[in-house]
Structure 1
Amino acid sequence: MKPGLQKGQLIRWKDDRGFGFIQPADGSKEVFLHISELKDTNRRPVAGDTIYYYVVPEKGGKLRASKAYIESGTPNAVSSNSKGAFKTRSLSKVPVFKTILVSSIPLFGAVHFALTTTIVFPLILYAVMSLLTFGLYADDKSRAQKGKWRTPENTLHLFELTGGWFGGFIAQQTLHHKSSKSSYQAVFWTIVVIHYTLWLIWLLFGKSLLR
């Protein structure tokens, strides 16, 4: 082990906020770890990981980890091909059954609406807003990892409400962003229920409403 390099276990990790705490192997005071200080690793940290790091003292006696890496990760530079493969594996983990289940009623409703009225705007809106919302999720996660100013949650919810909730759902499943924050999930699923309700109303009473 290099001089000054410490070893500890990640005992708490808040993935949606990009930080956690390390319990040093010698049993000393917990050390704060931000995602931006994890270098050259090929996966997200989880509680229980063994972390190697350097200690940086801060005001108030707090300790912060610097130049850290996960024991099971790769302490050397990871090639761009490896990073690309990792991203591909992450995207391949989309839960197909859950995705179909969540999107079935709104998608069927939007298709039925287009066939009945010849208006395809809802389908186009869903596609465009979902892509934009997915992009916002990805950007917000990148900002969290780098410790930059975050996208307000109300902005994410607004995009979801205006049709991007499906893109938000895919982002939560593939990027593991905002998926474990209960308060955020409560608002997100309320938005999904609103869309479901509107499309169910259309499917059940749409024809009579057009008369």
Structure 2
Amino acid sequence: MEQGGKLVNWNDAKGFGFIQPDDGSDRVFAHISVMRGDARPVAGMAVRFVGARDAQGRLRAEHMRGTGLALDRPAIRRKPQAARGSNGKTSTKPAPRRQAAPSRPAQPVRHAGLKLGILALLCALPLAGSLQLLRDHGQIWWLLAYGFVSAVSFRLYQVDKRSAETGRWRTTENTLHITELLGGWPGALVAQQVFRHKTRKVSFQVVFWLIVGLHQLVWLDRLVLGGRLTGGLLPF
């Protein structure tokens, strides 16, 4: 289905760029070959596009056009001719490099105290369960796993946020969710607030909070119900 967006990054020499959808979801890769209309794309233009995922799960546009009505000119999809100098020869001087848009200055986390309290409450059950396993069975790796994978998850969010701002290839959502499922959800929750990343995409947040809820359920069963729900399914 066609949706609206803005071409926030465009490299005309290479014929590709990135669309920021109007709904605030992840940026979409666009190639000149999918452009339809009577003029080449430029950074900042409003577009209509049809998005899909490629074989690697990356978002890309299958069709893109300007917002107005225009006849399609196939010539716009051809590589631009090199500029010629006054002597009629092709100039070998490289085109000036387009600088990446500057990163937005870091903003303080809103309602930081409340959010830290929520994080502490969510970590209470996993922490209590991990400490119980350490005390009763000497299994310290649960504590280490939560700490290590949370650090990895935080870093993945940081890299993905930077890639979104500079128009580079993104970390897939499946990768982010896998690290969250493996115990990195505390780091992911902190990263979402620190970098203000993935907080407005409803479908992503639904999966994220299902993962958090699953972890809470597992530890609640372990601590309160004696493992009656998950007995035999987990290695403790």
Q: TM-score, normalised by structure 2?
A: 0.52
Match of 1:138 in 2: 158
Contact 1:110 1:123 in 2 (8 A): yes
What is the CA-CA distance between 1:89 and the residue it aligns to? 3.9
Q: Does 1:17 align with 2:26?
A: yes
1:156-195 paired onto structure 2 within 5 Å: 156-195=176-215
Per the TM alignment, residue 15 of structure 1 is displaced from its structure 2 partner at its CA by 5.4
Larger Rg: 2
1:108 aligned to which of 118, 124, 128: 128
Q: Distance in 2 between matches of 1:203 and 1:106?
A: 10
Which residue in 1 is equivalent to 2:173?
153
Give aligned-pair identity as a percent. Answer: 32
Hey, what's the Cα distance between the residues in 2 that align with 1:184 and 1:88? 22
Partners of 1:126 and 1:91 in 2: how far apart? Answer: 25
Q: Is the 8 A contact 1:143 1:150 kept in 2?
A: yes
The Cα of 1:100 is off from its aligned counterpart by 1.1
Task: Tell me the CA shift for residue 153 of structure 1.
Answer: 0.5
The Cα shift of 1:175 comes to 1.2
Q: Is the Cα–Cα contact under 8 Å of residues 109 and 194 in structure 2 kept in the other structure? A: yes
The one-character-per-residue Cα deviations of 1:65-123 (angstroms, maximum 9, x if unpaired) are: x99x9xxxxxxx99xxxx9xx64845994622111122111122111221121111110
Q: Tell me, yes or no, if the aligned pair for 2:221 and 2:227 is still in contact at 8 Å.
A: no
Contact 1:16 1:177 in 2 (8 A): no
Task: Deviation per CA, 1:150-177: give whole Å up to 9, x if none.
Answer: 1110011001001101111111121111
Q: 1:120 aligns with which of 140, 143, 146?
A: 140
CA RMSD of aligned residues (A): 3.8
Q: Is the 8 Å Cα contact of residues 180 and 188 (structure 2) preserved in structure 1?
A: yes
Counterpart-to-counterpart distance in 1, 2:210 and 2:66: 43
Deviation at 1:203, TM superposition (A): 0.5
Q: Number of residue pairs matched?
A: 149
Q: Where does structure 2 lack aligned partners over 5 or more consecutive residues?
A: 1-20, 29-43, 48-63, 69-97
Offset at residue 195 of structure 1 (A) = 0.8
Residue type matched to 2:190 in 1? I
CA contact (8 A) 2:149 2:184 kept: yes
**Matched residue SS, 1:119:** coil
- Where 2:127 maps in the other structure, the secondary structure is helix
Distance in 2 of aligned mates of 1:133 and 1:189:
15
> Distance in 2 between the 1:89 and 1:61 partners?
37
- Residues 1:16 and 1:173: Cα distance change in structure 2 (over 3 Å): farther
The alpha-carbon deviation at position 181 of structure 1 amounts to 0.8
Matching residue's letter, 1:103: C
